[in-house]
Structure 1
Amino acid sequence: MNSSQEAVNQLNALMDQVDEHLKDTFQILHQGYPTETLVRFLKAREWNVSKAHKMLVDCLNWRLQNDIDNILSKPIIPIDLYRAVRDSQLVGLSGFSKEGVPVFGIGVGLSTLDRASVNYYVQSHIQINEYRDRVVLPAASELHGRYIGTCLKVLDMTGLKLSALGQIKLLTIISTVDDLNYPEKTDVYYIVNAPYIFSACWRVVRPLLQERTRKKVQVLHGSGRDELLKIMDYASLPHFCKKEGPAGSSQHLPPDINDCFSLDHPFHQEVYNYVKQQAQSQALKVPVKLGSFHVDVPEPDPEGTMIVQTIKSELHKIGDQNGDTHECCLTNDTG
């Protein structure tokens, strides 16, 4: 028996001993794939069984304490508020890779995260995570007749400004939620349309990342269109990659009807309708309390804190060099 299988067996034995209420939420977490889920947590803790066990139990307690199992029955209402969240927290499912893996586009540079309270952005982010894990991935697994438990993310840096400094706290909260409760769910992060400001930060942050994380990040040339077409069909490309020419030219294109960030995109309509239906069925059982959904966010680990401080420092340096620490938007670099 190899060491990784032994680690899985040990972690499985430890999970057999947890309370029943933790086992119940673990079932919702693993969606019928307990072994693959144990492997994710082991990978996240470098195959250290005791650390992976603590991480998983902490995750299950977080789910219970914050009622994450029911978050897909907690709509963000009214619809105008949800549209405001979608317009300022740019994320969406654009399609699937040739291997059947979901492809998510994320508009890092143009997300303003300033149209709602932090609680709504965190709630929205977790709902998309849970919809991905409970609906999208199981459907993909069934379609392809094999387990598909991860996604690809294409991060659009178009429009990245030094004002992103003000978003770092919220982005750190969301990143911490993902690191601790949704580990190893992303195979590769493709960076596209990267301006100089990103390149400058990446140079100093890259050495601070764990090797496992560093290997997952690929900075592509320009919009990344040609490289991404090797792993997905044109229809699955995020809208901001469907152009030729220099990076950043997508800013000057008319709105795309296939814009995966828009609330009107089929993916967001599916999520919205699913949550609404879940809320209605829940309401038949018990009165549903609506409103902002508060989620306790664990403290980020020291490594994450150090990376955030490094980014802040680097952004300030770039701002000082350009005579403006707030609104300097540097031109896109095609290199």
Structure 2
Amino acid sequence: MGIVPDEAIIQFKALMDQVEEPLKRTYQNIHQGYQTETLMRFLKAREWNVAKTHKMLIDCLHWRIQNEIDNILMKPIVPTDLYRAVRDSQLIGMSGYSREGLPVFAIGVGLSTFDKASVHYYVQSHIQINEYRDRIILPSASKKYGRPITTCVKVLDMTGLKLSALSQIKLLTIISTVDDLNYPEKTKTYYIVNAPYIFSACWKVVKPLLQERTRKKVQVLPGNGRDELLKIMDLTSLPHFCTKEGSGSSQHAENATESCYSLDHPFHQQLYNYIKQQSLINEPDKPIKQGSFHVDLPEAAAEGTKIAETIESELLKFENGNGISRSASSLKIIDD
């Protein structure tokens, strides 16, 4: 990270100390008592330019208010079967903690289909996981380890990655733009595992398009990454797709409860129950409302659009050259 520009933090903090309600309340929900660490995250996202960073954070606060993000953990996706379908097609889960105390999130890039619900449900689910991580998991980890823990690590499983169904790139670019603008620098390291040849080919052309700080976060591990990941986490925290011994293993656990993607996994059970309980506390006399929680969908930034277009172009070259049919996912590395 280099030397922290203390003066930039002091200037930025002085500006944010002037924030009044309702921005002040949602700002507190962002920093959860770790104000300096939050200011540093946003400053890094804008290359330590205080004026640009101040605009970014103020825009983020307005986005949270306009879209009622502070209340999103009171809005369960119901019925449960619909939420289970979201979980089965938007593969993400938390498998445990690194030895540093950072939450370990697993993402099934290659096998996610995003075809069981509307875009708004997937965006709602993604933001709810972000908010639960930031408001519940990270503060709890900080207390347990006695120091600020404000980031996580992500293990991206490329199992099943094939030529892209181009319609998915738009949704993934929307989600990544939400993260870029409102949850910057929340991931310390991305570990890529089970990467097929098509990923390696696309990574060569996408990597130069990423900002340097993002490129430095990405580590492509051999096979399922088990041996390398065990250097930073215990076996019990390994994502289920990394637990087989030896490289190249990418089989998912047969028992759904072993998969950290599944609604039956303790992380998702705790998350879902928490949201339902918050809903009942907020409106105890009303039935839980069905329907998605709509969030304004952002326009992709120029960098994200260029990356998406490059991925599409490269994958079409593969399709035209090899005659392979189009399928699953996108390779957008999210700079959050």
The residue that corresponds to 1:296 in the other structure is 296
SS at match of 1:136: helix
The residue that corresponds to 1:68 in the other structure is 69
The residue that corresponds to 1:111 in the other structure is 112
Change in Cα spacing, 1:245 to 1:68, as seen in structure 2 (3 Å) is same
CA–CA distance in structure 1, aligned partners of residues 328 and 301 of structure 2: 30
The residue that corresponds to 2:230 in the other structure is 229
User: Structure 1, residues 164-219: CA drift from partner, whole Å, max 9, x if none?
Assistant: 43311110011001110000000000000000111111000001110000000000
Change in Cα spacing, 1:248 to 1:293, as seen in structure 2 (3 Å) is same
Change in Cα spacing, 1:328 to 1:282, as seen in structure 2 (3 Å) is closer
Residue identity opposite 1:282 in structure 2? N
| Deviating more after overlay: 70-79 vs 280-289 | 280-289
The residue that corresponds to 1:313 in the other structure is 313
The percentage of aligned residue pairs carrying the same residue is: 70
Aligned 1:130-149 pairs, distance under 5 A: 130-149=131-150
What's the offset of the Cα at 1:299?
A: 1.8
The residue that corresponds to 1:188 in the other structure is 189
CA–CA distance in structure 1, aligned partners of residues 163 and 244 of structure 2: 25
Is residue 324 from structure 1 mapped to residue 324 from structure 2 by the alignment?
yes
Preserved contact between residue 152 and residue 186 of structure 2 (Cα < 8 Å): yes
Q: Mark the runs of 5 or more structure 1 residues left unpaired by the alignment.
A: 330-335
SS at match of 2:123: helix
Change in Cα spacing, 1:298 to 1:19, as seen in structure 2 (3 Å) is farther
The residue that corresponds to 1:279 in the other structure is 279
Residue identity opposite 1:5 in structure 2? D
| Deviating more after overlay: 194-203 vs 290-299 | 290-299
CA–CA distance in structure 1, aligned partners of residues 93 and 231 of structure 2: 21
Change in Cα spacing, 1:296 to 1:144, as seen in structure 2 (3 Å) is same
CA–CA distance in structure 1, aligned partners of residues 155 and 321 of structure 2: 30
CA–CA distance in structure 2, aligned partners of residues 230 and 118 of structure 1: 37
Residue identity opposite 2:135 in structure 1? R
User: Structure 1, residues 131-151: CA drift from partner, whole Å, max 9, x if none?
Assistant: 000110011001011110000
Preserved contact between residue 228 and residue 237 of structure 1 (Cα < 8 Å): yes
User: Structure 1, residues 13-42: CA drift from partner, whole Å, max 9, x if none?
Assistant: 111233321111101111111111111000
Is residue 33 from structure 1 mapped to residue 34 from structure 2 by the alignment?
yes
CA–CA distance in structure 2, aligned partners of residues 153 and 327 of structure 1: 24
What's the offset of the Cα at 1:291?
A: 1.8
CA–CA distance in structure 2, aligned partners of residues 319 and 39 of structure 1: 43
Preserved contact between residue 165 and residue 328 of structure 2 (Cα < 8 Å): no
TM-score normalised by structure 1 residue count:
0.94
Preserved contact between residue 223 and residue 241 of structure 1 (Cα < 8 Å): yes
SS at match of 1:105: strand
| Deviating more after overlay: 313-322 vs 233-242 | 313-322
What's the offset of the Cα at 1:324?
A: 3.1
Residue identity opposite 1:298 in structure 2? P
Aligned 1:1-335 pairs, distance under 5 A: 4-250=5-251, 254-255=254-255, 257-284=257-284, 289-327=289-327
Preserved contact between residue 60 and residue 182 of structure 2 (Cα < 8 Å): yes
CA–CA distance in structure 1, aligned partners of residues 92 and 288 of structure 2: 27
SS at match of 1:176: helix
The residue that corresponds to 2:334 in the other structure is none
The residue that corresponds to 2:333 in the other structure is none
Residue identity opposite 2:296 in structure 1? D
User: Structure 1, residues 113-172: CA drift from partner, whole Å, max 9, x if none?
Assistant: 000000000000000000000110011001011110000000000000114433111100
CA–CA distance in structure 1, aligned partners of residues 26 and 288 of structure 2: 20
SS at match of 2:232: coil
Residue identity opposite 1:32 in structure 2? G
CA–CA distance in structure 1, aligned partners of residues 328 and 272 of structure 2: 36
Residue identity opposite 1:257 in structure 2? T
Preserved contact between residue 72 and residue 275 of structure 1 (Cα < 8 Å): yes
Change in Cα spacing, 1:261 to 1:15, as seen in structure 2 (3 Å) is same
Preserved contact between residue 104 and residue 152 of structure 2 (Cα < 8 Å): yes
CA–CA distance in structure 1, aligned partners of residues 109 and 70 of structure 2: 28
CA–CA distance in structure 2, aligned partners of residues 248 and 112 of structure 1: 21
| Deviating more after overlay: 276-285 vs 205-214 | 276-285
Q: Mark the runs of 5 or more structure 2 residues left unpaired by the alignment.
A: 330-336
Preserved contact between residue 153 and residue 188 of structure 1 (Cα < 8 Å): yes
TM-score normalised by structure 2 residue count:
0.93
